[in-house]
Amino acid sequence: MVEDRPLTSILTHFVLILGVIAIALPIWITFVAATHDELRMNQVPLPLWPGTHLLDNLTQTLFGAGLSGSQGAPVWLMLLNSLAMAMMISFGKIAISLLSAFAIVYFRFPFRMTCFWMIFITLMLPVEVRILPTFEVVANLGMLNSYWGLSIPLIASATATFMFRQVFLTVPDEMLESARIDGAGPMRFFFDILLPLSRTNIAALFVILFIFGWTQSFWPLLITTDTSMTTIVMSIKQMLEAAEQSPQWNIIMTTALLARIPPIFVVISMQKLFVQGLTETDK
């Protein structure tokens, strides 16, 4: 900072703390809601300070019936489904993008540019605008209510491919030359040299993709009808609908708490990678 006057300093921190409060308030209020019992959560005004029922709520949500009166899957199963979906999307996308970026950067082959353009075009089509026909394709392939149907349509996207392409282009040419003189073939070079050299980029991308996969709700809502395939995020939506009849906000907000702990944990604990991943790609 150029000047360090106490007054500007105080003002700066004041504004920032105000910002933090504004941003964190929704998270705080819903956390508080997860620490009270149902009775308290139906009295106006709602509490702003944590209560003592967090453990009860957690037990009921995770292992009990969850929201009473609903026929949903147990919450631990939903967490598992979300984890499976997020992992499949992350690993799948990283794997196919690494391979195709490798081919595009390190090989000269007929139709290389055709491949490039076909991948490129996916940049322009968010899943939301082609949702109906994509749904039909998934249905025709018999992939409704399956992990494959949950993850694979969200796997294809050019962004990761472009990021890896960019990373590979910054790898000095001498790495490949040196490896060729050492006698390494293409796949050996890929696994021994290229992958280790890109590992922080891979990790950064993994963080972003994990969050992308975990926070999906629209797509799972469309293609899963079987309650055993429910993901935690989409269950929130279903609970909100149920809440219009019998509000059990303590349980809903405990579920919401569980639903956001994994991605928030990932973002905070891997902040550096997260920021790197976000600025290098997006989604």
How near is the Cβ of 226 to another protein at its closest, in Å?
Answer: 18
> What is the DSSP-derived secondary structure letter of residue 74?
P
Indicate the residue among 43 and 71 with the shorter CB distance to another protein.
43
Q: Rounded distance, CA 160 to CA 93, Å?
A: 7
70, 158 in Cβ contact below 8 A?
Answer: no
Angle subtended at Cα 125 by Cα 270 and Cα 108, rounded to the nearest 5 degrees: 80
Total number of residues shown for the chain: 283
CA distances from 167 to 35, 97, 193, 201 (A): 46, 12, 13, 8
- Tokens, residue 30: 């819903």
Nearest to 85 by CA among 214, 186, 266, 244: 214
How near is the Cβ of 67 to another protein at its closest, in Å?
Answer: 13
Q: Rounded distance, CA 117 to CA 182, Å?
A: 34
How near is the Cβ of 268 to another protein at its closest, in Å?
Answer: 6
Indicate the residue among 16 and 59 with the shorter CB distance to another protein.
16
Indicate the residue among 42 and 145 with the shorter CB distance to another protein.
42
How near is the Cβ of 155 to another protein at its closest, in Å?
Answer: 6
Q: Is 231 helix (H, G, I), strand (E, B) or coil?
A: coil
How near is the Cβ of 14 to another protein at its closest, in Å?
Answer: 9
How near is the Cβ of 222 to another protein at its closest, in Å?
Answer: 8
Indicate the residue among 62 and 197 with the shorter CB distance to another protein.
197
- Tokens, residue 65: 């019936």
Indicate the residue among 12 and 228 with the shorter CB distance to another protein.
12
Indicate the residue among 58 and 162 with the shorter CB distance to another protein.
162
| Residue partners of 169: CB distance under 8 A and separation at least 6 | 105
